Amino acid sequence: MYDDTPIPPEPLPPEPHDTPPEIHDDDGEAVAVSVHRAFVYAAMAPGFGEWYAGARIRGAAVFTAFVAVFVWGSWELAVTVSALLDLALGATVDKPLPLFQLGAAFFIALALWFWGMAGAVEAAVRRRQADGDPPQLHPAWGVAMSWLCPGAGQISLGRLPMGFILLGLYVAIFPTLGPALSGLRVVIDHAAGSAGQLLSRPDLAMELAQEISARIQLSFPRVAQDMVKSVSIALYCATLGPVPGALGAVLAKEGAHWTAALWARCLGLAVLGWICPGAPQLLQGREALGWSLLGVNLALPAAAGLLLAQGVIQPGQASQIASWTTLAVLASIADSLIRMIRLRRRPVHLSDLE
C-alpha cells in the first residue's frame, strides 16, 4: 500500500538571499503565488518561474546560464553546418566536427530547462508555505506537470526528495541517446548499399522504415524515460488517492479543486488512462489493480526492446509484443469509466465539507 503524506508537517525554510515581492491583483489586494503559473512561466523561459515565485537571485542565475549555453550551442551548430556544407561541396575540413561540444550544449540547455520548471515549482511551494496558503492539489495540473517534467508533480505535493530523484533519473538518461542511436548505423548503411533496390521495391522501403521506427521506439533511452515519466504520474495519482469517490466526486482535501461535471471527469480519466494505464485506478484508490496495469504497460516494451537488442527477435516481432500494451490502456480506461458511472452521485463540494 502506497502511503505518504502529501505535505510535510513543518514548513520548508525560506530560500536564502531571497526578497519575495508581494503579488497584487487589480484591486491592490495581495494574492497567493500560483504553483501552476510558476511552472508555465518556467516552461516558457527557464528562470522566469523562480523569479515570479520570489527566488529572484536563483531565477536570474538560471536564466543567465541558459542564455549563455544557448549562445554557445548556436555557435557550435553554425560551425557544424558550415563544415558539412564544405564537405558537400568537396572542400577539405581541417578540424574535426564539434559534435561533442554540440551534444554537451544541448544536454546542458535541456537540463537547465527541466531544472527551471522543477525549481519554479519548489520555490512556489516554499512561498505558499511561508505565507500560510494551502497546497494546490489538482489532478489535471499534477499529471500535466509530471508528464512534461517528471518529478514536478511530487515537488508540488511537498515531496522534494522523490521529485528531484525522478527528475534526475529522467535527465540522466538523455546522454545515452547517442550510443543507442549509433546502433542504427548498420541499418542505414545496409539501406544505402541497396538504394536502387529500395526505389524499385516500395515494400522493402516500408519494412526499412518500420525497422528503424521499432529500434528507436524500443531503444533503452526511450523505454527508460517512458518508465520514469509513467512512474512519476502514477506516484502523483497514488499520493492523492484514495479520496472519497476520487474523481467520482471531488478531492476532499484542503486546497484541492476539481470540476463537478460528470462528462469532464470521464474525459479526464480517459485521457489519464491513455497517458498512463493504471493511473486512473490509483487516483480512485485501487492500488493493486492500478500498479498491475502499469506494470504490464511498462514490462512489455522493456522485454521487447531487450530481446530486440540481443537479436533474439526481429523488429516486426518486437513491435507486435509492444503493441499488446494497448490492452492495458483499454482495460484501464474502461474499468475507470465503469466505476465512475457506478459511483455516480451528487458531487460533494469543498464548501459542503466546511
Q: What is the residue-wise DSSP string for 253-276?
A: STTB-----HHHHHHHHHHHHHHS
Mean pLDDT over residues 292-317, rounded? Answer: 90
Lowest-confidence region among 144-148, 208-212, 333-337: 208-212
Helices within 89-176 (DSSP H only): 99-131, 139-148, 152-156, 160-172
| Whole-angstrom distance, CA of residue 121 vs CA of residue 140 | 15
Using 50, 70 and 90 to split pLDDT, how confident is the model at 5? very low
Q: Specify the pLDDT at position 344.
A: 64
Q: Radius of gyration over alpha carbons of the chain, in Å?
A: 24
Q: How far is CA 61 from CA 38, 46, 115, 228, in A?
A: 16, 10, 12, 28
| Whole-angstrom distance, CA of residue 241 vs CA of residue 218 | 32
| Whole-angstrom distance, CA of residue 187 vs CA of residue 211 | 8
For 87, the 3-state DSSP assignment is helix
Which residue did the predictor score with more confidence, 96 or 20? 96
Adjacent-strand bridge partners of 30: 24
118-151 per-position pLDDT tens digit: 999 999 999 998 888 888 888 888 999 999 999 9
